[in-house]
Amino acid sequence: MKPSARQAEESNRTLNRRALLLGGGMGAMIAVLGGRMRYLQVDQADAFQLLAEENRISIRLIPPGRGLIQDRNGKPIAANEQNYRVVITREAAGDVDLVLRRLATIIPMTAEELAATAEEVKSLSAFVPVTVAERLNWTDFSKIALNAPALPGVVPEVGLSRRYPLDFDFAHVVGYVGPVSEKDLEGVENPDPLLRIPKFQIGKIGVEKWMEDTLRGQAGAKRIEVNSAGRVMRELERQEGDPGANIRLTIDADVQNFAQARLGEESAAVVVIDVTNGDIICCVSSPSFDPNLFVRGISHTDYNALTENDHRPLANKAVSGAYPPGSTFKMVTALAALEAGATTEETKVSCPGYIEFGDRRFHCWRRSGHGTVRLERSLAESCDVYYYDIAQKVGIEKIAEMGRKLGLGQRYDIPMSALTEGNMPDKAWKLEKHKQDWRIGDTINASIGQGYVLASPLQLAVMTARIASGRAVVPRLVRMVQDKDVPVAEAPVLDIPAEHLAAVRQGMNAVVNDDAGTAKGSRIVDPMMAMAGKTGTSQVRNISASERDSGVISNDDLPWERRDHALFVGFAPVDAPRYAVAVVVEHGGGGSVAAAPIARDVILRAMSHGLPSLEAYPASQRGRIETMLQELPLRYPVTGMVPIRTKA
């Protein structure tokens, strides 16, 4: 049946309504989609572009392995060990505080450490990785790796850290490393990019500092792909850097350890030099410290214990200590007088126990005097008056000139910290320094190594090496760099007549080997190892006239810090000198009692392949010496001590 007109009209209205609704819905949907597209493509374009860019390639530096430091025989002195650490990068971490709080639930971190790390991260460029913790154990290191998805920007790494296996023995020589500070960067125009890596470690003192460029090496680089969460997706390319060069020193670790042990708790220093080439065989300052504490971050308690110790363990007394050399300086005065013609080997000087100059009396150490004295006896028995007399004839200028010839008053070019120049005074020096004219009394004091004269144990060892060898020996500390010998030129002959040096050496031989010699108790009886030397005692306080009248107070009765310094210099063997030694014992009293025995033991150790033979010692001392040697806290087991031979 055909629909009526009314029905047709109603049907058309329904269709039109549905079409309008459908069209309106479609239009609304299109509008929403268009708006959303505009929002994503226009309004949020920068944000999405940043996210896309964060899935990008990053270049990171690879720190090189630090060069090793070894003793002359290849024993490790400064080595590298694996270091499990964790670093964070701000640009990848996003909310640094949140990530660090999450990290603190995995590894132990104090609130102070969290705050300090967060501050450091925020103070640096966003792309710079910051070390959060290091020297982690394997368990904590593994936990971080497993929780990496929840720790954006956090990367566990395996690096290298410095370790000093011989700790106390080489602390003053080798020094230690520590994080780069702003002070380290002062004055550096174009610093190595490695130095900008937070907590990157460089040498702070000693060989570690002065050979930093050689030991550091060149950085490598790696290209990595990271996602927007900061997680490393893959490593695209790696270019390894060049590790630092290995350095081999001239020092013998066995002799160094023996000397350190022999000094015990004394505030003292020992230096041994090979007179043939200037090699420093031993350079010890006591007491010492553990440099590993500084690498790991020394505590306030440990640091205060070092700085408050009156024996000054942080000071390198061997090269930075400047001491009045006392009677060890008498060889300088003697050689100056011989050269100037102010004395000869046979010149006689009368010693009544003092000389008078003006209204002042200058005393000899032996109150009753030495009687008539010639050069050899003046050295053997250390007569002060002999040197007072000849010094007035020769004058300070020639004495100072001879001192400089023998290596005093100069700083040597070796890679150690705080080397002192000492002081070899003359008239011009006093006028410039004190605005005063030089006086005869100053010359008299200087003639026996007192007054303004100052020298380090290193300088005294050089002086002795030059007297023993007749050559201008220069000390050296570095033997090889990256398996290549450091060339050493033969030292030139000293501009001192050979007969004068021979006369002084004869006097030094008498010091140790004559019955009246001041160091007779420290002689070496093995003729193949016999030692020559000179004792010295330097005052650290003035002795008043009233004290001299009533009797000079014994060192044993004085507080430690007011006692005299004890010194000894020597060389051996006498007939063919190979080693020179210098010992200073701060406030040790007499050089013959405190310093000479140490020097004998150390120089014997240098000449031996193990502990010294007991037959090198006087028979009356062997029992005591054997016990002493066996009780020394040596690092290396030594089986080379030769027992006393007995008849079958």
**Residues 305, 282 contacting (CB under 8 angstroms):** no
Taking each helix axis from N to C terminus, what angle separates 330-340 and 384-394, rounded to the nearest 10 degrees? 40
Phi, psi of 303 (to 5 degrees): -65, -45
Task: Name the residue among 191, 192, 215 with its Cα closest to residue 203.
Answer: 215
CA distance 648 to 646: 6
The answer for 418, left when phi > 0, alpha when psi is -120 to 50, beta otherwise, is: left
CA distance 494 to 310: 40
Would you state the structure tokens that stand for residue 165, as one six-digit string?
């296996």
Task: Name the residue among 473, 418, 67, 532 with its Cα closest to residue 280.
Answer: 473
Select which of 286, 327, 382, 538 is catalytic.
327
Task: Identify whether 327 is a catalytic site residue.
Answer: yes
What's the length of the chain? 648
Handedness of CA 159, 162, 166, 168 (dihedral sign): negative
CA distance 615 to 625: 11
CA distance 630 to 614: 12
C-alpha dist (Å) from residue 227 to 58, 86, 89, 153, 530: 10, 19, 13, 10, 75
**Three-state SS letters, 142-159:** HHHHHCHHHCCCEEEEEE
Would you state the structure tokens that stand for residue 635, as one six-digit string?
């690092």
C-alpha dist (Å) from residue 382 to 144, 401, 502: 71, 22, 18
Would you state the structure tokens that stand for residue 54, as one six-digit string?
């964060």
**Residues 302, 320 contacting (CB under 8 angstroms):** no
Q: Which residues are catalytic?
A: 327
